[in-house]
Amino acid sequence: TFESVIAIIYLGIIVSVFSIYLWNAGIRSIGANKASIFLNLIPVFGAILAIFFLGEYLLSFHFIGGALICLGITLVIKLGRNSPEIH
């Protein structure tokens, strides 16, 4: 149907371009090294969104995994090497 085609175009082009733009703006703002650390949060947000959109339930291992991911990100940010930036 026409509505399906419009939805596919919207999701395929507009949303994709907007998310890539926001990701690149974030990289420009904080740098690629720090931005790449946050890629590890994708499974955490995927699990959270699955609760709302798919009716999934979080179990104990989800919380443990999420906590380990957040701990790892915190350790990398706080204790990471301070290497000089290359311009």
Distances (CA, A) of 5 to 1, 17, 18, 40, 53: 7, 17, 19, 33, 22
At residue 51, the pLDDT reads 92
Q: What is the pLDDT of residue 68?
A: 95
Instruction: Give per-10-residue mean pLDDT for the chain (87 aa).
Output: 89 86 90 85 91 91 93 86 63
pLDDT at 70: 92
**Which pLDDT belongs to residue 44?**
92
Query: Which ranges constitute the DSSP H helices of the chain?
Result: 2-9, 16-30, 32-37, 42-54, 60-79
**Can you tell me the distance from the alpha carbon of 65 to that of 74, in angstroms, rounded to the nearest whole number?**
14
Q: What's the pTM value of the predicted model, to 2 decimals?
A: 0.62
Residue 75 amino acid letter? L
